[in-house]
């Protein structure tokens, strides 16, 4: 959870650089942003109250006015921005104090975290008869 997908970075770099150096530039950019997302000193979130009363539920959301994230959007496009925001949310959800990538069982067919039941079912199917 929280690991950046390099594909949007590649697309953004292919728009700017020749193909012989675009992959290297994409890897550098992706690595730079993975480090930035993991920086717990940077806090691009804000609390939004969901009810009328201050004591009611609240939600933590990405601060749309954050300069770094806005720069990511302006410099590299909405796809890179969206993947950055998604990774940031995942990092904050899994480990807000350290924001490092956490390994997670994933169901790629249905694009969600795999439940224990799904994992065991898959492992049983893989066993020889």
pLDDT digits (tens, 9 = 90+) for 29-60: 999 999 999 888 899 999 887 766 666 677 88
Which sign does the torsion angle of CA 21, 69, 61, 101 carry? positive
Reading phi first (left if > 0) and then psi (alpha if -120 to 50, else beta), residue 111 is in: left
H helices of 1-104, where?
7-16, 19-37, 67-76, 78-94
Backbone angles phi, psi at 17, to 5 degrees: -120, 155
Q: Where are the domains of the chain?
A: 6-100
What is the total residue count of the chain? 129
pLDDT digits (tens, 9 = 90+) for 62-117: 999 999 999 999 999 999 999 999 989 888 887 777 777 777 788 888 888 889 99
- The SS3 of residue 45 is strand
pTM, entire model: 0.74
Smallest CA-to-CA distance from 81 within 44, 109, 39 is with 44
């Amino acid at each position: 959870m929280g690991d950046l997908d390099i594909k949007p970075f590649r697309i953004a770099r292919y728009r700017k650089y020749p193909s012989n150096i675009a992959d290297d530039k994409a890897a550098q950019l992706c690595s730079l942003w993975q480090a930035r997302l993991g920086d717990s000193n940077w806090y691009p979130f804000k609390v939004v109250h969901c009810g009328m009363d201050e004591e009611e539920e609240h939600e933590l959301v990405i601060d749309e006015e954050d300069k770094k994230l806005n720069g990511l959007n302006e410099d590299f496009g909405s796809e890179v921005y969206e993947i950055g925001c998604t990774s940031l949310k995942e990092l904050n959800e899994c480990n807000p104090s350290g924001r490092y990538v956490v390994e997670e069982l994933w169901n790629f067919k249905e694009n969600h975290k795999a439940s224990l039941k799904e994992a065991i079912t898959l492992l049983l199917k893989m066993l020889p008869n």
